[in-house]
Amino acid sequence: MKSTNSNNRSREENNGHTVTSAGSEHEAGNDGTLQSSQLMQLFLTELKDIYWAEHALATAFPKMIESVTSQELVAVLTYHLTETAAQIGRLEEVFKSIGKPVSGLKCAAMEGLLKEAETIMEDCKKGAMLDAGIIVAAQKIEHYEIASYGSLRQFAVTLGLDEAASLFEITLDEEKAANDRLTSIAVESVNPEASEKEII
Ligand code: FE
Ligand code: FE
Ligand code: ZN
Ligand code: FE
């Protein structure tokens, strides 16, 4: 890890305030100080993690969509698959905006969440039960994404990466909306239907 003390000092000389003051006052590290900060390193790691995770999700989603019965659920998942493609594009824009090459880093959490979705598809009876199970799996995924994008947006704000912060904000709103739509389907139709069906 690089010494941040000397970086802080040179930043103070260049910009007249320190890196420990409120994040919004900072420029995007043109002098290289924020670029080499510990937060910047963590930001990059998390960015690569979610980039990998979104790709894994885009690959796994079609099978999940095929497995469900509720047409409403098919529609919501299909719509979110389209959004996921745009989110991947937005992440590539973030890499570009900070002058870093696009790359992914295996996300152990997403791998585990997708394994859970696989197990649900194997174990649940097709119909309302499987639909309810896929909603659980998808909502766990959305929550993971909400946590990831919320943190990345906040990191970007502190680092003065305004373009990245706005891009994360758009995606964060999409993830929250997807989660809310899944809640509605579960509450209004899928869960009550599954509660009326006996295990045979
Ligand atoms: Fe996403
Ligand atoms: Fe991860
Ligand atoms: Zn994710
Ligand atoms: Fe999502």
Q: How confident is the model at residue 15 (pLDDT cuts 50, 70, 90)?
A: very low
| Domains located in the chain, CATH noted | 27-194 (1.20.1260.10)
Question: Of the bound ligands, which one is closest to the alpha carbon of residue 64?
Answer: 4
CA distance 169 to 150: 8
Residues 98-127, mean pLDDT to the nearest whole number: 98
pLDDT at 85 over 90: yes
* Statement: the pTM of the whole predicted model exceeds 0.75: yes
The predicted structure's pLDDT at residue 32:
54
Query: What is the CA(50)–ligand 2 centre distance, in A?
Result: 6
Tell me, in angstroms, the distance from the centre of ligand 3 to residue 141's CA.
6
- Cα→Cα distances 134→39, 72, 156, 168, 192, Å: 35, 13, 32, 26, 15
Q: How far separated are the first and last CA of the chain, in Å rounded?
A: 59
Question: What's the CA-to-centroid distance between 162 and ligand 3, angstroms?
Answer: 22
**173 CA from centroid of ligand 3 (Å):** 14
Top-confidence residue, 199 or 40: 40
pLDDT at position 200 is 76
